Amino acid sequence: MKESRFKFENLHIWSKAMDLGEDVNALIDNFPKKENYNLSSQMLRAVDSIALNISEGSIGQSISEFNKFIGYAIRSLAEVVTCLHKAIRRKYITQQDFKVFYDESFHLMNMMIAFRNKINQSSDIKHQASNN
pLDDT higher than 90, residue 128: no
Q: What burial class does residue 104 get, using C-beta atoms within 10 Å of its C-beta: 0-12 exposed, 13-18 middle, 19+ buried?
A: middle
Taking a C-beta distance cutoff of 8 angstroms, is the pair 109, 77 a contact?
yes
**d(C-alpha 90, C-alpha 84), whole Å:** 10
Q: Delineate the domains of the chain, giving CATH numbers in brackets.
A: 10-122 (1.20.1440.60)
Query: What pLDDT does residue 60 have?
Result: 73
Query: What pLDDT does residue 131 have?
Result: 57
Residue 3 carries which DSSP code? P
Contacts of residue 26, Cβ cutoff 8 Å, sequence gap at least 6: none
Contacts of residue 122, Cβ cutoff 8 Å, sequence gap at least 6: 63
pLDDT tens for each residue of 8-63 = 999 999 999 999 999 999 999 999 999 999 999 999 999 999 999 999 999 977 88
Query: What pLDDT does residue 57 have?
Result: 93
Contacts of residue 87, Cβ cutoff 8 Å, sequence gap at least 6: 31, 39, 43, 93, 98
CA distances, 18 to each of 9, 56, 73, 108, 122 (Å): 10, 14, 12, 11, 25
Query: What pLDDT does residue 122 have?
Result: 75
Return the closest-CA partner of residue 84 out of 48, 43, 112: 43
pLDDT tens for each residue of 69-125 = 999 999 999 999 999 999 999 999 999 999 999 999 999 999 999 999 998 887 655
